[in-house]
Structure 1
Amino acid sequence: MYYNHIMLMKAPASLSVFVCLYVICILLEVLVLNVAQTQAQATTAPNEVKALNALYEKWGISANQNQWNISGEPCSGAAIDDSISIGTDGYNPFIKCDCSYNNKTLCHITEMQVYSLQVDGVIPDELWSLNFLTNLNVGLNLLSVPLSPSVSNLTAIKYLNFGINTLSGQLPKELGTLPELTVLYMDSSGVSGEIPSTFANLRNLESVWAFDIELTGRIPDFIGNWSNLKSL
């Protein structure tokens, strides 16, 4: 009788442990499901999808759907794979995205490479609407006409490369309104003229490449205030 009494006393404790473990398992499953659903629902901002499609159509290029742009969703595949970055061999044209917005349900295009693809003609206005870009590389192409003042829309840009192209006209003063700009490649780009006074605002510049362009006028004194500059 004493033994049976002990067993009866232990049974409720064992049952409680079992119930607790069961509840914990259910909560973990719900958490994993919610995370998976949140990640699955992350989509590219519609205006950026429209701009990217228009841009690529006008340039006559397309994404490799085995790498990214899976099922028509630009921010997918390699575009959100942290192990693959801009400049990785075999990924060109290419974009990278940040899908941390709106509780990880919204993606913005933050990097773009269209490098050495013989793209010619103008730079479509749609490019300047991608204002979450921090890295833009359209170097070594055949892009023509002046660089648009709308480059000022790229307020988050840190790395900008439009070198080795067939652009024309003067350096737009709007380049000097990009507060985060740290690296600027404009060598052999076709731009010319004086360095705009607005460039005095580019205090975050670390590297400037301006070889083989027809700059005129004197070297501005404000370059001495580019305290972060490492190469010119």
Structure 2
Amino acid sequence: MLLVILCVTVLPFAFASINTTCLPSKEVDALREIGRKLGKDWDFERDPCRDWEISSIGERENNVTCIAEPNSTICHVVSINLQGQSLPGILPPELVNLPYLQNLELNRNRLSGTIPPAWGFMERIVNIALLANRLNGSIPQELGNIRTLKSLSVEDNMMYGAIPHELGNLTSIERFRISGNNFSGKIPDFIGEWTSLTSLRIQASGLEGPIPSSITLSESLTDLRISDLGGPDTLCPPFSNTTRFTHLFLRSCNLIGQLPQYLASSLEVLLVIWTFCSFLNLFTNTWNFFALIKTHKHSSSVVNLYRQIGNK
């Protein structure tokens, strides 16, 4: 039986030597099932790789992107970006049938259910963004198989369970964001072994401390945000170099003792937030504290936080 393919026109400036490209029938079938499960009303009378792209409006995105194979008339889906559309469905396992998919962004919808373990077999995926949905369940251990994954965001959902140790295999990960969930267990030590990690957000995640020193000593991190940890009180973990941070946010992490001097001096170049009165013992009085931060671009945020602490 002849292979049925869906032909689409490609923008001439993108592929000057190719007039038309074709999406394999397997990927067309996968898109149909993906759309059905997401609750997305794609029009298959139109070209998925061209006519489904709509200009962004605020935080609303509605794009499917395809790229042609070199010197070929065959194209493949490489990106699905459906953000801010209030999609009511579930996460489709059929995404694994898009073998060239690299980018998946489904932020700010009403998607429910769990992350399919089958996603662990997406061989080229680089970015998975699922922020602000209604997802539950745990992070599948199978995601640890995705050696190409650079960014995983499941913030602001209802997920639970321990962070699987298999995620320690994500050697290419650069951004890991799990804030606003109901996870359990301690912050995994293996996070500090991700040598490419630049952004880590574990705010109100349900996890317990202590904060592993391998994380704070990481040379690649520039954005570290941790808050609302369970567990016992602990001393501040060591930092090797605070000047590299663009964001350093530590709040309600059960840290005790004085704010280390090298962190206090960093307030001139970055925003460090601690909500424990014991750390403020470093500052002899309110005026010294205000003098330290007065030239900082985030000084109003620090001042407001100081006032909140004083009212506790």
Aligned residues: 184
Selected match of 1:170 from 118, 134, 138 = 138
RMSD: 2.4
**Contact 2:39–2:88 (8 Å) recurs in 1:** no
Selected match of 2:48 from 74, 77, 82 = 74
The structure with the largest helix share of the pair is 1
Selected match of 1:148 from 106, 113, 116 = 116
Selected match of 2:66 from 87, 91, 97 = 97
**For 1:58 and 1:121, how far apart are their aligned partners in 2?**
5
**For 1:213 and 1:76, how far apart are their aligned partners in 2?**
36
Larger radius of gyration: 1
Superposition deviation, residue 215 in structure 1: 1.8
**For 2:190 and 2:75, how far apart are their aligned partners in 1?**
38
**For 1:95 and 1:185, how far apart are their aligned partners in 2?**
20
Greater RCO, CA 8 A, separation 6+: 1
Q: Cα deviation per residue 1:166-190 (whole Å; 9 max; x = unaligned)?
A: 1111111011111011111110122
SS at match of 1:93: strand
Which residue matches 2:166? 198
SS at match of 2:19: helix
- What amino acid maps onto 1:74 in structure 2? P
**For 1:48 and 1:150, how far apart are their aligned partners in 2?**
16
Instruction: List structure 1 runs of 4+ shifted beyond 6 angstroms.
Output: none
**Contact 2:66–2:77 (8 Å) recurs in 1:** yes
Which residue matches 1:24? none
Structure 1 position 134 matched with structure 2 position 102: yes
Which residue matches 2:28? 49
Superposition deviation, residue 133 in structure 1: 0.9
**Contact 1:62–1:93 (8 Å) recurs in 2:** no
**For 1:222 and 1:89, how far apart are their aligned partners in 2?**
37
Q: TM-score, normalised by structure 1?
A: 0.71
**For 2:22 and 2:148, how far apart are their aligned partners in 1?**
26
- What amino acid maps onto 1:161 in structure 2? A
**Contact 1:165–1:188 (8 Å) recurs in 2:** yes
Aligned-residue identity in percent: 29
**For 2:188 and 2:92, how far apart are their aligned partners in 1?**
32
**Contact 2:37–2:90 (8 Å) recurs in 1:** no
Q: Cα deviation per residue 1:68-101 (whole Å; 9 max; x = unaligned)?
A: x7x633223586xxxx9xxx62483211111025
Unaligned runs of 5+ in 1: 1-34
The structure with the largest strand share of the pair is 2
Superposition deviation, residue 59 in structure 1: 3.5
**For 1:152 and 1:134, how far apart are their aligned partners in 2?**
13
Q: TM-score, normalised by structure 2?
A: 0.54
Which residue matches 1:28? none
**Contact 2:138–2:161 (8 Å) recurs in 1:** yes
Of 46-55 and 105-114, more deviation after overlay is shown by 46-55
- What amino acid maps onto 1:145 in structure 2? G
